[in-house]
Amino acid sequence: MPAFNNEKKKLQFLRAMLGTCPLFRAENVKNLLKKQLLSISSSCNKARYSSAPFRLAVIGSGPAGFYTAYHMLKEYPPTLVDMYEALPVPFGLVRYGVAPDHPEVKNVQHRFDEVARDPRYAFIGNVQYGKELKVEDLRAHYDAVVFSYGASQDKPLGIQNENDPIENVFFARAFVGWYNGLPQYRDLQPDLTRTDTAIVIGHGNVALDVSRILLTDTEKLSKTDITEYALEVLRKSQIRNVILVGRRGPLQISFTAKELREMMRIPNTRFHTDFDLLKEEISENSEYVSNNRPLKRLMQILESGISNTIGEKSWTLKFLRSPTEFIVRDDDVNSLRPRNIYAVKFNVNKLEGPPEKRVAVSTGVTEEIEGGLVIKSLGYISVPLDGVPFDEKKGTVPNDRGKVLDLDGNEVPGLYVSGWLKSGARGVIATT
Ligand SMILES: Cc1cc2nc3c(=O)[nH]c(=O)nc-3n(C[C@H](O)[C@H](O)[C@H](O)COP(=O)(O)OP(=O)(O)OC[C@H]3O[C@@H](n4cnc5c(N)ncnc54)[C@H](O)[C@@H]3O)c2cc1C
């Protein structure tokens, strides 16, 4: 058994193990005393493993963890899966990332529920790999370990006063976690009443999710499973304009067509962008665009936005801007409280290089965009954890088709990796 430093977690682990024991199928494992648990666990383990099962530990219970468990249980029936999860509940970003107005995406949980009902599967929540669990513990008890703990940090902007205490500036992970009920962000308290403009930095789907939630009618949101406390705050929101800012041009957006189209269809909402730049980029790179179907579709959707001219609310796609500084209000300079965000200063860029490798180069010109709420949405990154080789440059665990490699490129026996930790934080559930 892994060495737990917390008695409660040790008992929780034993209960989860017993829940899958072929000898012991008690309805109410949670009522057992510690003494009883310890005494039966060893005989249970013997019986559980008597037909030489393949013991697999999976770290992380997002889509990558569940897909791994699903395929192993299907393809290799003697497998027993123990899935360890840092949070008390499973499903990772499907629960705490996917927007509440996308219930059709969240439905993938039903498939994961089926895996969870398999008697060869056990979920062990509230156990964090790297803290309560180490690779040596796992090696002693399992034939193989699959790391699928995702990408649990935000990419910073890397600007000078980013770490100053400034009110109403959030990472997308925090804001998304807040409206989705992730316990650690429940008390985020974004103030949506003192500004009519939000600035979202980043041109990816998460930036679209956040913007859509800010602009969608709360009557519609109330029919989703958005948290009640977030809905209350959104009901009082004064945000009418959302400006999404990216450092490169229209051909470099990382949206998917479905999400972009959805944004264009928000009722009562105008769309602004630099249509001249859009036209110019498309015509100058016509071959590149026509050979890339998803990009072509995105460009068509953007062009169609020119007719979205009516509405009390608006959203804007601003290109060629890199943030350099947060501007705070001077009027509360003597206050001990964190100061309020007032605007963001950007370098104005130009594009260089071929369309597939376009880089943004500063023109030396700067511009301030005013907004009283700022969401930083540059993407998520994985973190290195004890005992798992990590490629700092790529932000992933080095691997050969999922087999973990050490930093010299040699296979590490028994260790595997899947999901965002394997290939980087990009793509959707279906490609995980
Ligand atoms: C805001 C947002 C919205 C998205 N919306 C969509 C969408 O609409 N449609 C779509 O198809 N895709 C969407 N995606 C992408 C999708 O969520 C990912 O492709 C998918 O979740 C990646 O799966 P994963 O298992 O690698 O990581 P995760 O889902 O992040 O799962 C990792 C799990 O590991 C756990 N963990 C972390 N550290 C530890 C540790 N030390 N010990 C134990 N457990 C740990 C985490 O708590 C988590 O449960 C969205 C992503 C984000 C960020």
Contact 152, 383 (CB under 8 A): yes
- Ligand 1: which atom is nearest the Cα of residue 66? 25
Q: Is 178 in the pocket of ligand 1 (CB under 6 A)?
A: no
Best residue among 13, 83, 98 to mutate for probing ligand 1's pocket (most ligand atoms within 8 Å of CB) is 98
- Ligand 1: which atom is nearest the Cα of residue 108? 11
- Ligand 1: which atom is nearest the Cα of residue 84? 43
Residue 4's pLDDT band (boundaries 50, 70, 90)?
A: low
Using alpha carbons, select from 110, 71, 118, 119 the residue that is nearest to residue 91.
110
Best residue among 59, 93, 127 to mutate for probing ligand 1's pocket (most ligand atoms within 8 Å of CB) is 93
302-310: Cβ within 8 A, 24+ apart: 302/250, 302/260, 302/273, 302/278, 303/275, 303/278, 303/279, 304/264, 305/264, 305/271, 305/273, 306/271, 306/275, 308/264, 308/269, 308/270, 308/271, 309/270, 310/268, 310/270
41-50, 207-216, 341-350: lowest mean pLDDT where?
Answer: 41-50
- Ligand 1: which atom is nearest the Cα of residue 149? 34
The answer to the question of whether 173 is labelled as a binding residue is no
Q: What is the pLDDT of residue 336?
A: 63
Distance CA 300, CA 286 (A): 13
The CATH architecture annotation of domain 154-380 reads 3-Layer(bba) Sandwich (3.50)
192 CB contacts (<8 Å, ≥6 apart)?
A: 214, 233, 234, 236, 237, 238, 239, 373
Q: Where are the domains of the chain?
A: 51-152+382-431, 154-380
Give the residue-averaged pLDDT of 236-265: 97
Q: Is 202 in the pocket of ligand 1 (CB under 6 A)?
A: no
40-54, 84-98, 277-291: lowest mean pLDDT where?
Answer: 40-54
The answer to the question of whether 247 is labelled as a binding residue is yes
Contact 378, 205 (CB under 8 A): no
Residue 355's pLDDT band (boundaries 50, 70, 90)?
A: confident
Give me ligand 1 centre to Cα 92, in Å: 5
Q: What is the pLDDT of residue 361?
A: 97
Best residue among 149, 209, 214, 376 to mutate for probing ligand 1's pocket (most ligand atoms within 8 Å of CB) is 149
Give the residue-averaged pLDDT of 23-47: 44
H or E element, residue 366 = strand 359-370
What does the DSSP assignment read for 214-225?
Answer: HHS-HHHHTTTT
Q: What is the pLDDT of residue 271?
A: 98
The two three-digit tokens of residue 36, written as one number = 């009883």
Q: What is the pLDDT of residue 33?
A: 47
pLDDT at 315 over 90: yes
Does residue 36 or residue 216 have the better pLDDT? 216
Q: Is 152 in the pocket of ligand 1 (CB under 6 A)?
A: yes
Give me ligand 1 centre to Cα 51, in Å: 34
Mean pLDDT of the chain: 90
pLDDT at 111 over 80: yes
7-21, 109-123, 351-365: lowest mean pLDDT where?
Answer: 7-21
Q: Is 150 in the pocket of ligand 1 (CB under 6 A)?
A: yes
- Is the complex ipTM more than 0.90? yes
Residue 333's pLDDT band (boundaries 50, 70, 90)?
A: low
Neighbours of 422 (CB within 10 A): 21
Give me ligand 1 centre to Cα 277, in Å: 35
The answer to the question of whether 55 is labelled as a binding residue is no
pLDDT at 29 over 80: no
Give me ligand 1 centre to Cα 152, in Å: 8
Q: Is 234 in the pocket of ligand 1 (CB under 6 A)?
A: no
CATH 3.40.50.300 correct for 51-152+382-431: no
* Residue located via tokens 């679209």: 208
The answer to the question of whether 192 is labelled as a binding residue is no
75-79, 275-279, 294-298, 369-373: lowest mean pLDDT where?
Answer: 75-79
pLDDT tens for 146-169 read: 999 999 999 999 998 999 999 999
Q: Is 92 in the pocket of ligand 1 (CB under 6 A)?
A: yes
Give me ligand 1 centre to Cα 337, in Å: 34
Distance CA 395, CA 424 (A): 7
Distance CA 67, CA 228 (A): 31
